[in-house]
Amino acid sequence: MSATYDDNNIFAKILRGEIPAFKVYEDDDTLAFMDVMPQSPGHTLVIPKAPSRNLLDADPAVLSKTIPVVQKIAVAAKKAFAADGIQLVQFNEPASGQTVYHLHFHIIPRFEGVALKP
Ligand code: 5GP
């Protein structure tokens, strides 16, 4: 049985303005902000504002608004940080590495010959 959405998660608190975040993009449906523990310069998170725990319970109509923003931020981050490539990462449930239970996409600039921070 899949777990349900808990609106005490840290990204829900960012969406409600209860804790600060360095926001880089926002529209009616989507927010992008810098990861507080970046794995590389420019590591950005993109989240839908609608509540879903992860990709497994996300509404396709919501995803259809989120994914174009993921692309927009990937293009912008590659340019802004002069990256050689962009890694897109997304985890679903603890077994996969998810630690914050509000759907999010990691946009991680990558540089030739540079490993990610552990
Ligand atoms: P995941 O759930 O995909 O494993 O990762 C959650 C991500 O959220 C991590 O990269 C972590 O650094 C980031 N994170 C956790 N807490 C905060 C926070 O309070 N603010 C921001 N901006 N990022 C956070």
Residue type, 118: P
- pLDDT for 87 equals 98
97 in contact with ligand 1, CB cutoff 6 A = yes
Q: Assess whether pLDDT exceeds 60 at residue 98.
A: yes
Within-domain flag for 86 = yes
36 in contact with ligand 1, CB cutoff 6 A = yes
Range of the domain at 56: 10-110
Within-domain flag for 3 = no
Tally of domains within the chain: 1
- pLDDT for 2 equals 55
CA of 56 to the centre of ligand 1 (A): 19
State which of 99, 101, 105 you would mutate to test the pocket of ligand 1, scoring each by most atoms of that ligand within 8 A of its C-beta. 99
- pLDDT for 117 equals 76
Residue pLDDT, tens place only, 99-111: 999 999 999 999 9
- What's the CATH code of the domain at 76? 3.30.428.10
Q: Which long-range contacts (CB under 8 A, 24 or more apart) does 110-115 make?
A: 110/40, 110/83, 110/84, 110/85, 110/86, 111/40, 111/83, 111/84, 112/84, 114/40
CA distance 17 to 27: 15
Residue pLDDT, tens place only, 56-92: 999 999 999 999 999 999 999 999 999 999 999 999 9
- pLDDT for 58 equals 97
Q: Assess whether pLDDT exceeds 80 at residue 3.
A: no
Residue pLDDT, tens place only, 16-71: 999 999 999 999 999 999 999 999 999 999 999 999 999 999 999 999 999 999 99
CA distance 36 to 45: 10
- pLDDT for 118 equals 76
Residues identified as active-site: 104
Cβ–Cβ under 8 Å, residues 30 and 65:
yes
101 in contact with ligand 1, CB cutoff 6 A = no
Residue type, 27: D
Atom of ligand 1 nearest to the CA of 21: 22
Within-domain flag for 40 = yes
Shortest-distance Cα residue to atom 5 of ligand 1: 99
**Mean pLDDT for the stretch of residues 7-16:** 98
Within-domain flag for 2 = no
